[in-house]
Copies of this chain bind each other. A is one copy, B any other.
Amino acid sequence: MTTTGEGTDQRAAPPATAADLPAATVRRLPEYLRALGALSESGVDTVSSEILAGATGVNSAMLRKDLSQLGASGMRGVGYSVAALATHIAGVLGLTKDSRVAIIGLGHLGQALARYPGFSERGFDIVGLFDADPGIIGRDLDGLPVRDVALLGRAVRDEGINIGVIATPGAAAQHVADLLVDAGVTSILNFAPCVLAVPQGVAVRKVDLAVELQILSFHEHHKTLGRSEAQINKRRER
């Protein structure tokens, strides 16, 4: 995973809530949700764990275990209600209210993120764009102006921004993270190739595009040595 910022909870057993879901389960929930959306559009209204697992590349027992941990419940002999399950997962993920996102750093990647339709489609409103480069400040991206990063803290407070996406060069990323944290943001998605230091309680997820390619490079490099293991891929008719 390419992720940091997880909190470790060593507190004496509190009443179990959805907040106690294993990290591995949380990672899979968005995937389930996407598959459910696709099924829903195809007019399917009930689905078995076997089918849904196939559509998301996981084992069906794991899927059932994940769902039972949510408190979601299927019907024995029948399966899960697509609509009910989607609603339930969306609720657990907190997608019932839209999040307000700021993107900091509007180079090529930041601009692509700003225009990525997948964000607004899934309830993430991009409400602020910030950069430090005077040559970029003032530009307009699909109706949103790029503002000076010096205005970031105030904007976070005034505009209810709760997620920050950092797409700056590595050298600027820590400074931006500090600004976000000081303004009260507790969720950060970091595309810069560096590890961010943040206080406990702030969640950081990191996506490094070059890292992904390097992992592929490893597989490519060692494939000749007679291995395979893709296994998620049961082959499929096509």
- Residues in chain A within 8 A of chain B (CB atoms): 1-9, 11, 14, 17-19, 21, 26-27, 29-31, 33-35, 38, 55-57, 92-95, 99, 101, 108-109, 111-113, 115-116, 118-119, 121-122, 124, 162-163, 174, 178, 186-189, 193-205, 207-223, 225-238
Contact = CB atoms under 8 A, between A and B. Distances in A.
A45 to B, nearest CB: 21
Q: Taking the full assembly, how many copies of this chain does it contain?
A: 2
A199 to B, nearest CB: 5
B213 A124 contact: yes
Contacts of A227: 7, 11, 14, 19
Residue picked from A27, A38, A115, most chain B C-beta under 10 Å: A27
A228 B214 CA distance: 31
B235 A199 contact: yes
Nearest to A11: B227
B7 A211 contact: no
A238 B174 contact: yes
